[in-house]
Amino acid sequence: MRLVNYEIVERGKSWTVLHDGQADNEYATKEAAFEAAVAVASLAIKQGFEVSISVPGTGASD
């Protein structure tokens, strides 16, 4: 079973979701990036993949 990773990262004043080393979209908040990651992760789960979502804790600016 393939592990699919989604990593929420800060990019300047916005946030993005890294997947396979690529970040295609930018989001105004960390929460918006997380919601986008959860949506695509849900599809990966339905396809049988193992999923990991990483979100930085406090200390990162929102």
Q: Where are the domains of the chain?
A: 3-54
Res 62 pLDDT > 60: no
* Closest of 31, 10, 51 to residue 18, by C-alpha: 10
pTM, rounded to two decimals: 0.86
Q: Give the burial class of 19: count Cβ atoms within 10 A of its Cβ; 0-12 exposed, 13-18 middle, 19 or more buried.
A: middle
**pLDDT tens digits, 34-56:** 999 999 999 999 999 999 999 99
Res 60 pLDDT > 70: no
CA 57 and chain centroid, separation: 14
